[in-house]
A and B are shown apart, each in its own frame.
Chain A
Amino acid sequence: MNNNGEERRLNGEEAEDDDEEDDGNGRGLEAWERAYADERSWESLQEDESGLLRPIDNKALYHAQYRRRLRTASAVRIQKGLIRYLFLVIDLSKAAAEMDFRPSRRAVVAKHVEAFIREFFDQNPLSQVGIVTIKDGVAHCLTDLGGSPESHVKALMGKLECSGESSIQNALDLVHDYLNQIPTYGHREVLILYSALSTCDPGDILETIQKCKKSKIRCSVVGLSAEIFICKHLCQETGGLYSVALDESHFKELILEHAPPPPAIAEYATANLIKMGFPQRAAESSIAICSCHKEAKAGGGYTCPRCKARVCELPTECRTCGLTLISSPHLARSYHHLFPIVPFDEVSTSLLNDPNRKLSRACFGCQQSLLGVGNKPGPSVSCPKCKQRFCLDCDIYIHESLHNCPGCESARHSKPVAMSEE
């Protein structure tokens, strides 16, 4: 029995080693199986060494979680750029009409951009996003920098025709012009979702890359087909991430990696005071001319504390006096990026089998039993501070959503309880 547990454990570790090389799971499947892996997951069962069936997804989840954990672990105590100005560049050239992603690359891109924008604002309430599309070799600014997810999504959904060539240089030039105007405390970023395999540029793209580097614009690229040298070069030069999607779920994963704030660029990492306004919500019955829509609106809305103009949504910049307007919950939500929860340690099996140490058999978070199939100890983690054990699901939940460790929190509030548990 124990042996078996250890084997599984080993499997897990081995899989982790392979993680970078062979992302996610199920890549070893044949091509026709892979296409259905998402929809018919109940069919993808695999047999382990002991003849037990287990779903492949389980392992994939484990991978994804581990991967993210590594990322946060490496970034502990690094100054982060919380106020981000991100331009999403979407390639709508001919190549985006290809059907190797179902139903087509552009549809998949649009779908996940929507999810990304929502996730992005959830994680970075102080930041702004703009969308640029490339079509026929020309870059168009679809939406200006703004803080409202709805308006971006709406603007994008209407404009999804693809045609012509793609040009990274044009897009970078356009974005560079926009981003150069924003205040210095903001982090300038570009995320390019690139379908094409080449770029048709009017001039020397290498110069443009240097220009972006000089303006401290961090450029990242998510490719949909294959690794392209110039994209890799762009990302290396500007400190961004370059990744290529294997399939739709991988693409989703890759694009969501860009949602948490990146580490701040060293030269920019000086502490700065930023002037901000915390507007009050206007009374429900009041009628005022809204400064963003230029029309009279009743109820809701916020009033700028400096010039008393009315705005509809937060966060935003006041149209009249240019003050950054946010609400305090937004600030609070950004806070956890600066002080992330330390990654939990894995509990080794030898420790579990040690009869001298009595460890609780249930997850501290959800109180579910930690025993796996056949009463073997299942995989679990423990918080290095409060030493409580958690199941893998809770691990992800705590790190991804909760941003608080229940163990540490309860110990802080009720010392005696923690003592007795020890």
Chain B
Amino acid sequence: MKFEIEDVTVYFPYDHIYPEQYAYMLELKRALDAKGHSLLEMPTGTGKTIALLSLITSYSLSKPHSPLKLIYCTRTVHEMEKTLSELKLLHDYQFKHLGPRAGLLALGLSSRKNLCINPRVVTAENRDSVDAACRKLTASWVRALAAENPDVPTCEFLETYEKAGSAAVLPPGVYTLQDLRAFGKEKGWCPYFLARHMVQFANVVVYSYQYLLDPKVAGIISKEMQKESVVVFDEAHNIDNVCIEALSVSVRRQTLEGARRNLNRMRQEIDRFKATDASRLRAEYNRLVDGLAQRGNLPVSDTWLANPALPDDILKEAVPGNIRKAEHFLHVLRRLVQYLEGRLETENVEKEGPVNFVASINTHAGIDQKTLKFCYDRLHSLMMTLEITDTDEFLHIQTICDFATLVGTYACGFSIIIEPFDERMPHIPDPVLQLSCHDASLAIRPVFERFQSVVITSGTLSPIDLYPRLLNFNPVVSRSFTMSLTRDCICPMVLTRGSDQLPVSTKFDMRSDLGVVRNYGRLLLEMVSVVPDGIVCFFVSYSYMDGIVNSWNETGILKEIMQHKLVFIETQDVVETTLALDNYRKACDCGRGAVFFSVARGKVAEGIDFDRHYGRLVIMFGVPFQYTLSKILLARLEYLRDTFQIKEGDFLTFDALRQAAQCVGRVIRSKADYGMMIFADKRYSRHDKRSKLPGWILSHLRDAHLNLSTDMALHIAREFLRKMAQPYDKAGGSGKKTLLSQEDLEKMGERIVDEVLY
């Protein structure tokens, strides 16, 4: 359908639109008009993605003199593919209506692992080894060597791509990763480098968060994006954590040992070069003296990582004298590694600010701040000079230099925490030195500054006023939309008491109470006997899950549960979890029914959907607070309080509730779907906790469902499931329309927007 939003003609590939989608587009359009940033919360299953895509592409179509580029960031490759396939649908529709004027180039960009088509490379097991295998074939010196000596293996796809030169372009269209690979195979061009090249010309680019937020990657991939771009962060409820992780480094014993090995290897290489080709080292030295940027004129296949610090913070000056010589630099690194090893020997937990830490390095190892700051670039230059291609072997020393550069660059917003052992297992020594970033706004600031509009959107962004404070920006639009439903297809409940009327909670002093464990067990047992197909349970942590499942096993509850449904458990092992999920789905498909035990903040809670019969009920056992004794968390809380005036308790509750909302939100992925959500903890009934849940859950949380015991919840579940099994009218009654056709939109105009919003 085609309709007008103010002065923009929107092309929407479906015949009907939800009212909230319309409202969402309207708000988004106003944000684009104002050239500002926006924060939009809309429940999952209401078609956020297509609303975003269709509005933004239509917007730039209607303003041909200033075309907008859309940079769409997703969290996973799977989401990327989903987005691109929606875009394809949209593009086909626009093409039908506008013809070639709708010409759009959209592509997904991912790592070599997902894009490579060279059979010798892509078989490597992980991302780093694929990258290294690629570099072995494509590094400039390898190719130079191959030009003289045909026996040296190169990648034929890159060669043909390079030969095609400027003729190697993608024709307009929408390319998923799959399409890119197919296109590459057909032409014999390397899809990875083709995509990297075409990103500058594409109207829509879909890639992962890291490509914008992690300065190491962003410096290379996203350097040349124009300012007139709209950046969309989808599923962005955890964006602050992504920002923080992008600037945090942790160093363990293995890292240091590995770094030592790397240093030895480099030592040998330097000796070899000295003997055979001393001029290379000298050339590098001269270049560093001149302060030439090492990267500026390198061939595209040689760049792999940029500086981990943010672009504005990198000094544009020559590398300091004491590390210009390769040997000297190695000495500096050796001293640094030694110093870090010494720090790891500690018996106590230590916490320091970067300033103190740098001062201490200076006194003990004789390395000053400026030298630290240049470590990363210097290492990069050295590896280039030494023609090292197996970069996956050198990850350890890269981590160390990464650390050094960050510590040398930032004086506040960070802290260094050394823990001799894991708090939860105090008798196993596992020293770790962490440089943790506390300020999420650091990593995202360049994005806000560089691009015209940044849209942060997710199904759960409540409370919506906290995000601007955490990320330190001023949105022109920040709004939360509810879902218009033809029937009450979600049924959230707060369960505060067990079947014996005693309160249940995972509060620290109560969680090991046998009564609570038993009550939780009875709850699940009762639920498996009335809920069909799949049930998902989320626990607050792995250790808590292990404990409670153990005691259920001992008391025989687990056995009783298994009579009704099969039980699957998420573990920290990815392969094992994937297998468990597969079997869980199979059990749901064939009617046996299954329960999946999972952990809030785990992989399953973040990325896996339990829609339709895969999740008819989700039980959140307890409130998923972070481990509050963690030193890193404490340091971050302190920083947030001092810098942004966010109270510790507020942040912890906010963080716990958004995790809980994220977990329960897994079960409902579309309006035709239905599911129940049980928050099993007495603390959820308190207003300060509950009010932080997203609006679309709160609006269905009836007062009668706020303080339930197991038997009442059971009764409600029975009723709900029966009601939901009845056939229903998808378009909604005449009273409340939930699907709007083109005529409806034209007739109603502005009015419906008001209805949805207020």
Write the residues of chain A forming the contact surface with B, with a CB cutoff of 8 angstroms.
Answer: 14, 17-18, 20-23, 27, 31, 100, 168, 197-201, 204-206, 223, 225-231, 243-246
Contact = CB atoms under 8 A, between A and B. Distances in A.
B590 A197 contact: no
Interface residues of B, number: 33
Interface string B718-739: 1101111111110001110000
B272 to A, nearest CB: 62
Q: Secondary structure of the B side of the interface?
A: loop
Contact of B721 (A168, A225, A230): A225
B565 interface: yes
15 contacts: A21-B486, A21-B487, A168-B591, A197-B530, A197-B531, A197-B533, A198-B565, A198-B591, A206-B590, A226-B722, A226-B724, A228-B532, A230-B591, A243-B727, A244-B722
Nearest to A19: B729
A245 B722 contact: yes
B532 A23 contact: no
Interface string B265-280: 0000000000000000
A26 B711 CA distance: 24
Q: Secondary structure of the A side of the interface?
A: loop
Contact of A198 (B593, B612, B722): B593
B378 to A, nearest CB: 59
B536 to A, nearest CB: 15
A123 B723 CA distance: 30
Contacts of A228: 532-533, 591, 613
Given A21-B726, A197-B529, A225-B718, 14 more contacts: A17-B733, A21-B487, A27-B723, A197-B530, A197-B531, A197-B593, A198-B532, A198-B565, A199-B590, A201-B591, A205-B590, A226-B530, A227-B532, A230-B591
A244 B723 CA distance: 9
B612 A227 contact: no
Contact of A18 (B531, B616, B719, B733): B733
Contacts of A227: 532, 721, 724-725
Contact of A21 (B531, B565, B613, B729): B729
Nearest to B588: A229
Given A100-B718, A227-B721, A199 B592 contact: yes
Contacts of B592: 198-201
A121 B735 CA distance: 43
B728 A198 contact: no
B723 A246 contact: yes
Interface string B477-496: 00000000011000000000
B73 to A, nearest CB: 34
Contacts of A223: 725
A17 B728 CA distance: 10
Interface string B571-598: 0000000000000000011111100000
Contact of A246 (B533, B565, B722, B727): B722
A96 to B, nearest CB: 13
A303 to B, nearest CB: 49
A20 B616 CA distance: 22
A226 B717 CA distance: 10
Max count, chain A CB within 10 A of own CB: residue among B591, B726, B735: B591
A229 B613 contact: yes
Given A198-B591, A198-B593, A229-B612, A20 B719 contact: no
Interface string B633-657: 0000000000000000000000000
B524 to A, nearest CB: 14
Contacts of A200: 592
B676 to A, nearest CB: 11
A246 B726 contact: yes
Given A197-B532, A229-B613, A23 B589 contact: no
Contact of B734 (A17, A27, A204): A17
Contacts of A14: 733-735
Given A227-B724, A244-B722, A199 B531 contact: no
A244 B725 contact: yes
B591 A231 contact: yes
Contacts of B588: 229
Given A198-B565, A204-B590, A228-B591, A23 B726 contact: yes
B686 interface: no
